Amino acid sequence: MQRRTTDPGILELVGELTDLLGLAEKIQRYLPTQRLKIQRKHRRIERLLDDFRAALDDSRAAMRVVTSTLQEHLAHADSEPTQPAGAQDQNLPRIAFSIPREELAVYRRGIEQLQVAIRKMTNIGFDLEATSEGVPEETQRYYRISEAGKSILRAVRDVLDDNPERLPGLVRQVEQHLARSSRMLEEREQWIHG
């Protein structure tokens, strides 16, 4: 089987020739390739935003699992104050909490689900950033989301690596990120629909 190749220089000459003869505009009128390309890009952005909303909802659900598990057991621990061995001051900061063994799996699963959902949001943020490259405001918006997501993923990894004392900071960071992401979607919708 013979292989045929085309010299890119020839294609450039053909393109310039069509421009000189005014054929490019006529061809564009009959074959609206630019418009079709832009329409595909808009559909891709909408699909990515739908996926982002789903990941945002998954993140909220995972946060509810984590916070409800913790609140239940932290509230129980606060109602029964115990002084750690050797501690003289009752106002020492708590750096650990107890969770019954059967609830530990729920807590860990919630943290893992949160990690998966935030990773998905972050990756979609990267895709949105690349897809909206020609619109600086949109690109900046998605850049901020993906950078914040990377920071949260590091914090989640840290908590999963047996650093539970960092969990309250992680919860605050995630809640702020989810609120900012929701506002971003609302602002975009408001801008589009006037």
The domain locations on the chain are 44-79+97-193
Give me the amino acid identity at 128.
Answer: L
Under 8 Å between Cβ of 69 and 110: yes
The answer to whether residues 10 and 146 touch, using CB atoms and an 8 Å cutoff, is no
Q: Residue 173: what are its φ and ψ, rounded to 5°?
A: -65, -45
- Asked if 129 and 143 count as a contact pair (C-beta separation under 8 A), the reply is yes
pLDDT string in tens for the chain (194-residue length): 666 665 666 667 766 776 666 666 666 666 677 778 888 988 999 999 999 999 999 999 999 988 888 776 665 554 555 544 444 555 555 555 677 777 788 888 898 999 999 999 999 999 999 998 888 888 888 998 899 999 999 988 888 887 777 888 888 899 999 999 999 889 888 888 87
